[in-house]
Amino acid sequence: MKSFSLLVLALLMTQGIKSQTLRFGDDISEGSLTETKNVEMLYNSRAKFNTKFKARVEEVCQARGCWMKLDLGGTKEIMVKFKDYGFFVPNDIAGKEVIVSGEAFKEITSIDDLKHYAADRGDSKEIIEGITEAEEVLSFTAVGVVILP
């Protein structure tokens, strides 16, 4: 009976851990969220702005979790890096919802950086060699990230 009780306790603790909210970087619990549909409008109307919003993770750096791409809906993605590389996120969070807070801006990503990100994703040599033009991307430097259960 004692073994059964310990097994039940272990299972309950494991379930509690799986459903916990994970936090990285600064505490971003204060302040309201910008609606995701309004984030793209802000990118179109300002050079830089600070915001906090919720979105779904599309991709994560498979090497270290040092960047992620968030889905803004439709065809828009945001490339998220972490302030001063002060923290990284787990590399298995694609498909999860996150809340991010930080500075948003547009930037031109160089061919070398695009190839680097493709390698981080694990893309084939052919795909990496096929990258021949820089891209303007919606960028975000996060000061804090919350991964929702």
Cα 38 from chain centroid (whole Å): 18
At 59 the pLDDT is 94
Query: Which residue, chain included where needed, has tokens 């945001």?
Result: 78
Q: Which strand (E) or helix (H) includes residue 40?
A: helix 36-45
At 26 the pLDDT is 97
- Quick: pLDDT tens for 9-28: 344 344 444 568 899 999 99
Name the DSSP letter for residue 34.
B
CATH topology of domain 22-147: OB fold (Dihydrolipoamide Acetyltransferase, E2P) (2.40.50)
At 57 the pLDDT is 97
Name the DSSP letter for residue 66.
-
At 8 the pLDDT is 37
Domain boundaries, the chain: 22-147
At 137 the pLDDT is 92
- Quick: pLDDT tens for 137-146: 999 999 999 9
Low-confidence ranges of the chain (pLDDT < 50): 1-17
Nearest CA-CA partner of 58 in 41, 40, 80, 38? 80
Furthest-apart CA atoms within the chain: distance in Å: 65
Q: What is the CA radius of gyration of the chain?
A: 18
